[in-house]
Amino acid sequence: MRNLRNIRYSTWKSSVDLDGDAITSACWDPAKDEVLCTFGPTERDGRIRLVRVSEHVRPSSLDIEYQEVAAWDAPSPNPDLAVDRVISSHHFSDTLTTCLVLKGGDIVIIQESEGLNPQDGVHIEIVGSIDEGITAAGWSPDEELLAIATNANTVVFMSRSFDGITDMAMTADDLKASKHVSVGWGKKETQFQGRGAKALRDPTIPEKVDQGVLSPNDDGSTIISWRGDGAYVAINSIETGIRRVIRVYSRDGILDSVSEPVDGMEGALSWRPAGNLMASIQRLEDRVDVIFFERNGLRHGQFSLRAPRDRTLAKDQIWLEWNSDSTVLAVGLDDRVQLWTMGNYHWYLKQEILTRSRPLCLTWHPEKPLRFTSAVSGKLLLAEYIFEVTRGSLTPPYDYGAVAVIDGETLKLTPFRTANVPPPMALFELQASSPIIDVAFSPANTFMAVLHQLGVDLYEWKIRGQRSLIPSLIGSVAFARDDPDQECMPLQIAVTENSVVHCLGFERGPVIQSRPFDRSTGEFSSNSSIYAGSMFGFVRLTQAGSTDVLVQDCLGRLHGVADQQDELYSTRLPSQLPWCEVIDLAGNVIAVGLSRNGHLYANSRLLLKNCTSFLVTPAHLVVTTSNHMIKFIHLVDVDSLQVPPDDPENDERCRSIERGARLVTAMPTNMSLVLQMPRGNLETIYPRAMVVAGIRKLIDAKDYGKAYSYCRSQRVDMNILYDHRPQQFLTNVGLFLDQLGDVSYIDLFLSSLRDEDVTQTMYRDTKGVRTQEPPEVPSNEAIVGGTQSSPKVNTICDAVLSHLQSRKAKDHGTLQNIITANVCKVPPAYEDGLLVIATLMQEDEQLAEKAVEHICFLADVNVLYDEALGLYHLDLALLVAQQSQRDPREYLPFIQNLHRLPEIRRKFAIDDYLSRHKKALSHLQSIPAHKEAQDYTVKHALYTTALKLYRYDQPNLTALTGLYASYLESKSRFREAGLTYESLNDYIAATRCYRAAGTSCWRECLFTAQQQSPPLGSDALADLAATLAEALYEAKDYASAAAIHLDHLDSLENAIPCLCKGYLFADAMRLVAQRGRPELLSTAVDLGLADALSSSTEFFADCKAQLRAQVPRIIELRRKAAEDPLGFYEGERAGGADNIPDDVSVAASSRISTSASLFTRYTGKGGSIGTAGTGVSRATSRNRKREEKKRARGRKGTVYEEEYLVNSVRRLVDRVQATIPDVERLVFGLARRGMHERARTLEGLAAEVVEGCRIAIKEVFVAAGEKKKQGAEEERNENGGIGGGGQEGEWRPMGADAVLLDNLEAAWRKQEPPVITGLERLSLLGS
C-alpha cells in the first residue's frame, strides 16, 4: 500500500570545461555522500577524467558542485579495441581510492589526498592488466574481492590488494554441473482437467522445454552480480554456440550451479541483496519479462514489463539493478528508468523516470536504500525517494479510510470504511494518460489530485450515505512541452480544500506551480510559479478544511506557499525529516517528523528512537516501533506529549502487533486501524485506546446507542456507559433506554453492572482527569470501587426502574426489563421481581409464565423457589418450581400439605422450612402455642428473639428467662448467667455462676451469697470469702484481697501483708492506727518494707548488670556491620579482604541465584555455589520454621543477635518505667518508718538504673525516628504513581531466606524508642 515519493531531485550537466563529454561510469562515495563519475575515453580524446560531484544544501537553494580529481591518457592496449572503455568503477571510502576496470584489461586506482583539494597529491597507478581483455567486473559487497570475466572465457578473483586468488575457465562442461528436474508444479498441464486427461499424457513432462535459444537483440555482453552477503557471485554470459547461461560461483571460486535453459534470455543480471532471487530479462515475441532464478539455477517466477504507449520494447537494451535493501528493482529502458516493487506477490510499477536518451547506468547508494544516481549522456541525475502511504483525511466525518496505490498508469483506490479490499486488488481503479508520479488528497477528502507525466487530473470524492463512490474526474490540465530542454520534471503534488493544485517540479531548479480550479467552469486558471529553493516536499496537514500549503526544506524549516509567497513558519524540525505531518491544536502548531533511522520528533523534541511508521488522528499520534508495538500518544502540547511504556498488559495505549507491521490508515469513526504486514497482506484491528476514546466521545455527545453497540461488538465493559459521565447518565436515563431500544440490550447492560468504577481501573483515562465528578452519595454508603458494597448498581437499577414504571403501557419487554433491574441489584431484590410476576398472574397468566422463565434464566431457580415460598404465594412458588429440575413428587405433596394448613400455621411451616427461625417463632407466638414456642426457642437458641416477643407476658417471660440462664451457664458465660439468675431471685445459682466467673465478680458473689434463702452459714460464708481472697492474691489484686480479709473475715493480720505486697504501705499504716494495733507496725509493716526492699534491690541490680552487658554488645555489632557488611552477614571469604566487592547489598536481588549470596550462610552449605535449581529446593517451610526458631533464640554470633538484644533492652526499659511508682511509694514508706539509710540506698540505686536506661535509649535507639521517616519515604518512592504498583511482581525470597530478609527489613528497626520518666527523689533524705 506504499508508494515511492520523491523527496530530492537534481541534475548536473557536464560543463564546457569537460567538453560536453558523456559520462561513462558513476559510483558513490558513501562517507561523503558524493558521486564520482568518469568521462572518456572517446575517439576524439583518449583521456579519462575522474570528477567528484557533490550537493550542497543552503537555506535558499540546493546547489551541485563538481571538482575534477584526476585526468590521464588511457590508450587502448588492445589493437582490436579502438577506444578503451570503463566497465566498472568503485570507490573505497576508507582509503579515498577509486578503482576503475577498463575493457582493454587495465585496472587503475586513483588515490586522493586527504586535503581540501582532491587534486593535490593524487596518485594514479595501473595495478594490473589482463592481456585478453575484460568483459565484466564487480567488487564484492564487503570490498574484499574483485571478480573479473575475461575475453578468454575465464573468471579471475583478486583480493583488495589485487593479488590473484583463483581463476576458473568457463567451458561447456559447466552446463553439466546442475541436473535440473522440473516436475511442473503450478503449470497448466499439472492441473485437474477431467478423467480422460490423465490417460492422454504424462503430466510431469511439460508441453514445451526451453532450449536456451538466444534473443535476436542479445548484445553478447557479460554481467557480474554479487549476492548481498558476498558469499556467491553470478556471471551471465553466452556459452558460444549453445545458450546464454548464468554461472554461480562460491567465494572460493568453486562452481555452485548453472541456470536452466531459457529461450530469449538476455544479458541483464542483478542478484537481489537479500539473496533469494536473481533477476534477468527474457524477450518473447509479444512481451518482455523480468524472470527470476534461485541460486540453484531454477526459475522462480516472473512479471511482464509495461511498454510506453507510443512504442514497444522490441529494440530496447534493458538492464536491471536492485537497491541495497532489496525493496526496489530498477529497470533501465532506452528512454526511461522504471522502479518496481513487489507486495503480496504482485509487481507494482511505482515510478517511471523519463530520461529522453538511454541511461548508461543507475547506481544505488550503498547506505541510503532509495537514493540513486543515473548517468544519461552528458547529464547526471541525483534523486532520492521514500516509501509513503498516500492516505486521505483521518478527521471524522471525512475519515473514509481512502488509500491510493500507484501501479503504472493505474491508480488503485480503496476506501477502507466502505470495503476492506486486500491488495493487489482495489475497490476502484482509475486510469491516467501516462505513468502516475504522485497522488494527494485535500485535508477534508473533498478532492484528489493525480500527478502524471503529462499533466494533472483532479477528482471529486463522492459518497452516498456512509459509502464512498468512485471519484469523478472534474478537471484535467496538461503540461506545456514547448522547449524539451527546459521541460519541468514533476515530482510532487498537493491540493487544498479550495481546489487549488500545487505541483512541485524541477526545471533548472525546484519550482512550485499553482493552478486554481474553477468548479463553475470546470477549467484550471493560469499557472503561477515560485522558486522553491531547498524545499523538497509537501507536508501533510491534519486539520480538515485547511487551505494552507506547507513545504519542508532540507534544513527542516516549514514554509507556507498557499499564496505563492514564501512564508517561513516559526515551528521547525531539527533536520530534514522525509515523513512529516503538521497538527494544529487550537493554534498550537506541532510538526511531527520521522527520520530515516527511526527517530520521531515533535518540533525539536525527540519522542522515540525506534519508530517505524506513524499517523495522526484528532486524538492520538499513533506510532509503530521496532519492538513490534503500536503506541498511542495523546495529542497535547509538545512538552506534555507522553510516550507510553512497552506494557501492553497494563496500558491501553500500547499493543503488540505482528513483526514488521506498518500503519496504513486509521478510521476514528469506525475506531479501527489498518496495518500492512511485510508480505503485503492487510490486517484491520480495533485498538483499545481508539475504541475507548471513541466511546467516551459518543457518551459526551449523548449517543448512547452507538456507544453501546461498540461496547457490545468490541467487548468493552459496559460500566463505562455510566462511569464516564455518571450525572449525565442519571439525568438522561430515558434517552439511554430509548436509544438502546432492544429489550435484550437493556437486559445485557443491567446484567453487566458491577460495583467498580472502570474509568479508574481498566479504562483509566491516560490523557487527563475527567471534568465531571460522580454524583454525591450518602456518607454512610461505601465508595464506588471500594472493598465494601457500593450503591452504584442499585442507583442505576433504581433509576431504570423509576423510568420503566412510569410508563403508562407496560408491554412484555418493559416488564422483562423491570424484572432484570430488580434481580441485578446488590443484593438481588428477588422479592420485588417476584411481586411483579405475582401481580402479573392476576392479569395475564401467559405473560406471567414468560416472566417466570426470564427470572429463572437470570437467577438460581432454587433460590427463586425459596423466595416465592417466603412470599407465602403458593401458586407463584408452584410456577417457579415447574421451571426447575425438581422432581414433582418432591414439591407437589409439600405444597398440597401447605394448602391444608391454616394461614398462620402455614406461614410457620414455610418459615421453618426456609430456616427463617425468628420469623417462624413470631408465628408460634401469634397462634398462640407457648409450649411449642419454648421448645422451638431451645432448639434453635432464639432466646433474644423470644424474650423480645414475650416482653409483656410475665409467666412465659419467666420461663424463657430460666431457659436462657441455663443456656448461658452451659456455654460458660458465667457472668451473664449469674446476672440472669439474679434477675429471677435464684441467688444460689447466681452465687455458683459468679464464683465460676473468677476474680472479676467477687463482689457480686459475696452479695448473692448473703441474699440466699435460707441464709448461708457463717462457716460456709467464711470459706467462700477465704477462697476468693486467696484467688485475688494469686491474681496479684492485693488491694481486693486485703478488702475481703478486712471486711468479711475481720483479719487485720492477713490484710496488712496483702497491702504491703502491693506497695500500699500508707493504707497499711492507716489501718493499724485505725484498729489500734500499733504492734503490727514492727511485726507486719516493717517486715513488708524489708521484703519489698529486698526484691526491688535485686531487680535494679539485675537491670544494671543487663545494661552493662547488652548495650556495648549492640554497639559492637553495629560497628562490625558498618565496617564489613559482607563479612558480618556472610562470614569469612576465601582470599581475604581483597575479594570483597565495593557494592555489597544485603537485599536479595534475584529469585534464582547461580552464585553465593548473603543468604547462603543461613540456608544450607555456606561454602557451596549451587545451581539455579538449588535455590528453589531450599525454599521450604521446614527450613523457614527452623530459621524462625534461630531468630527467636537470638544466639550470640548470628545475624539475629542484634534484634534479640534490642528487644531485650526495650523490655527492660518498659519494666523499669512500670516499677518507678512502686519504688517511690517504697522509699516514702521506709522514710516514714525511720529507715533513712535503706531508703537512701534504694533511691540511689533506682536513680542510677533510670539514668542508665536513658543513656541506653540514646545509644541503642539513636536513629529510630530518622529510619522510620526514611523507610516511609522509600515506600512512597517505590509505590509512586497512580495506583502504586511499584513493587508488583517483585521477587520475594522463600523459606529460610525469607526469615533473614524479614530480619533485615524488620519493623523493630523503625519503631519509636521507649520512654523513661525521672524518679522523684525525697529532699528529706538529702540526696
Work out the number of other CB atoms within 10 angstroms of the CB of residue 1241. 17
Distances (CA, A) of 527 to 455, 552, 607: 12, 22, 41
Query: What mean pLDDT comes out for the span 869-882?
Result: 85
The residue that leads in pLDDT, 139 or 1327, is 139
Sign of the C-alpha dihedral, residues 1137, 1140, 1141, 1147? Answer: negative
Of the listed ranges 757-766, 789-798, 848-857, the one predicted with least confidence: 789-798
Q: What is residue 155's predicted lDDT score, i.e. its pLDDT?
A: 95
Q: Which has the closest alpha carbon to 97: 84, 79, 112? A: 112
Confidence of residue 1192 (pLDDT cuts 50, 70, 90): low
Q: What is each CA distance from 641 to 693, 976, 1043, 1307, in whole angstroms?
A: 17, 69, 80, 41
In this predicted model, what pLDDT tens digit does every residue of 952-972 receive, in sequence order?
Answer: 888 888 899 999 999 999 999
**Residue 220 three-state SS:** coil
Place of cell 504522485: 438
Separation between Cα atoms, residue 826 and residue 878, nearest integer Å: 26
Q: By C-alpha distance, which of 870, 874, 882, 880 is closest to 899?
A: 874
For residue range 30-49, list pLDDT tens digits in order: 999 999 999 988 888 889 99
Of 697, 591, 615, 685, nearest in space to 394 by CA? 615
Answer yes or no: is pLDDT of 870 > 90: no
CA end-to-end span of the chain:
101
The residues that bridge with 1232 in the sheet, in sequence order, are: none
Dihedral of alpha carbons 1301, 1303, 1304, 1307, sign = positive
Going from the C-alpha of 839 to that of each of 714, 816, 834, 867, the distances in angstroms are 39, 14, 9, 16
Residue 202 has a pLDDT of 58
The mean per-residue pLDDT over the stretch 582-603 comes to: 91
Rounded distance between C-alpha atoms, residue 875 and residue 899, angstroms:
10
Q: Which residues, other chains included, contact 732 with Cβ-Cβ below 8 Å and sequence gap of 6+?
A: 702, 704
- Nearest alpha carbon to residue 278 among 292, 265, 266: 292
Q: Is the pLDDT of residue 16 over 60?
A: no
Quick one: pLDDT at residue 168?
93
**pLDDT at site 361:** 85
Cell numbers at residue 1019, please? 462457716
> Can you read off the three cell numbers belonging to residue 452?
502524471
- Percent of the chain at pLDDT exceeding 70: 86
Whether the per-residue pLDDT at 191 is higher than 70: the answer is no
Q: How far apart are CA 346 and CA 407, in angstroms?
A: 10
Q: Which of 544-548, 776-780, 921-925 has the highest mean pLDDT?
A: 921-925
Residues of the chain above pLDDT 90, percent:
44
Asked whether the bond before 902 is cis by omega within 30 degrees of 0, the reply is: no
pLDDT band at 765 (very low <50, low <70, confident <90, very high): confident
The mean pLDDT value for 433-457 works out to: 94
Per-residue cell: 1178 = 531450599
For position 185, what pLDDT does the model report? 54
At residue 770, the pLDDT reads 46
Identify whether the C-beta of residue 375 lies closer than 8 Å to the C-beta of residue 25.
yes
Average pLDDT over residues 97-112: 94
Place of cell 554479487: 226
Amino acid at 211: Q
**Residue in the block written with cell 487544498:** 496
Residue 593 predicted with pLDDT over 80: yes
Confidence of residue 519 (pLDDT cuts 50, 70, 90): confident
**Which tens digit of pLDDT belongs to each residue from 1225-1270?**
888 888 888 888 888 888 889 999 999 999 988 888 875 545 444 5
* Dist. CA 371–CA 1001, nearest whole Å: 102
pLDDT of residue 188: 56
Rounded to the nearest 5°, which phi and psi values hold at 656?
-80, 145
DSSP state of 32: T
Cα–Cα dist 858/750, whole Å: 11
| AA identity, residue 728 | Q
Sheet hosting strand 379-388, strand order edge to edge: 3-13, 379-388, 371-376, 361-364
Is residue 1164 pLDDT above 80, yes or no?
no
Residue 1160 has a pLDDT of 40
Read off the pLDDT of each residue in 437-453 and give the average, rounded to a whole number: 94
Residue 694's H or E segment, with its range, is: helix 688-700
Secondary structure class of 283 (helix, strand, coil):
strand
Kindly state the DSSP code that residue 730 receives in the 8-state scheme.
H
Whole-angstrom distance, CA of residue 830 vs CA of residue 517: 71
- Residue 774 predicted with pLDDT over 60: no
Tell me the sheet residues that pair with 462: 469
Type of residue at 224: I
**Helix, strand or coil, per DSSP, at residue 1071:** helix
Higher per-residue confidence, 426 vs 1156: 426
Radius of gyration of the chain (CA): 50
Burial of 1180 (0-12, 13-18, 19+ CB in 10 A): middle
Identify which of 264, 368, 260 has the alpha carbon closest to the alpha carbon of residue 28: 368
Residue 1281 has pLDDT above 50, yes or no: no
Q: Predicted confidence band at 780 (pLDDT cuts at 50, 70, 90)? A: very low
Which whole number is the average pLDDT over 230-250? Answer: 93
> Cα dist. 303→234, 279, 931 in Å?
21, 11, 104
Grid coordinates standing for 1093?
526492699
pLDDT band of 1191, cuts 50, 70, 90: low
Task: Please tell me the least confidently modeled range out of 378-387, 797-806, 885-894.
Answer: 885-894
975-993 burial, b if ≥16 CB within 10 A, otherwise e? bbbbbbbbeeebbebbbbb
The continuous run of DSSP H or E covering 552 comes out as strand 550-553
Q: Report the phi/psi class of residue 257: left, alpha or beta, with left for phi > 0 and alpha for psi in -120 to 50.
A: beta
Rounded Cα gap, residues 513 and 1118, in angstroms:
83
Provide the 3-class DSSP secondary structure of residue 800: helix
d(CA 1205, CA 1107): 10
CB-based contacts of 628, cutoff 8 Å, min separation 6: 656, 657, 658, 659, 660, 661
C-beta pairs of 550-555 under 8 Å, 24+ apart in sequence:
550/582, 551/504, 551/512, 552/576, 552/577, 552/580, 552/593, 553/59, 554/8, 554/57, 554/62, 555/57, 555/59
Confidence of residue 466 (pLDDT cuts 50, 70, 90): confident
**pLDDT of 347:** 95
* pLDDT over 50 (residue 82): yes
pLDDT tens sequence across 467-514: 999 999 999 999 877 555 566 889 999 999 988 999 999 888 889 999
pLDDT of residue 1283: 37
Q: What is the DSSP letter of 953?
A: -
> What confidence score (pLDDT) does residue 788 get?
41
State the average pLDDT for the chain. 84
- For residue 227, pLDDT over 90 is answered with yes
Cα(105)–Cα(548) distance, rounded to whole angstroms? Answer: 60
CA dist 23 and 58 (Å) reads: 27
Per the CB < 8 A criterion, the answer to whether 56 and 63 are in contact is yes
**Edge to edge, what strands does the sheet with 455-464 contain?**
436-441, 447-452, 455-464, 467-478
Greatest alpha-carbon pair distance for the chain in Å reads 157
Reduced to 3 states, what is the DSSP secondary structure of residue 407? strand
What DSSP string runs through 571-616? EE-SS--SEEEEEEETTEEEEEEE-TTS-EEETTEEEESSEEEEEE
Give the residue, 812 or 199, on which the prediction is more confident.
Answer: 812
- The amino acid sitting at 604 is S
Place of cell 515475441: 285
Q: How far is residue 955's CA from residue 68's CA, in Å, rounded to a whole number?
A: 130
Banded model confidence at residue 1306, pLDDT cuts 50, 70, 90: low
User: Is the CB of residue 879 less than 8 Å from the CB of residue 841?
Assistant: yes
Give residue-wise pLDDT tens across range 624-664: 999 999 999 999 999 989 999 998 888 889 999 999 999 99
Angle (CA) 139 142 146, round 5°: 25
1153 pLDDT exceeds 70?
Answer: no
Report the alpha-carbon distance of residue 1136 to residue 1317 in Å, rounded: 48
Instruction: Please give the sequence-ordered ranges of beta strands (E in DSSP) within 93-242, or none if there are none.
Output: 97-102, 106-111, 123-129, 134-139, 145-150, 154-159, 164-169, 223-226, 232-239
Contacts of 908 by beta carbon, 8 Å cutoff, 6+ apart: 920, 923, 924, 927
Q: For residue 972, what pLDDT is reported?
A: 92
CB 49, CB 70: distance < 8 Å: yes
Residue 911 has φ and ψ, to the nearest 5°, of -65, -35
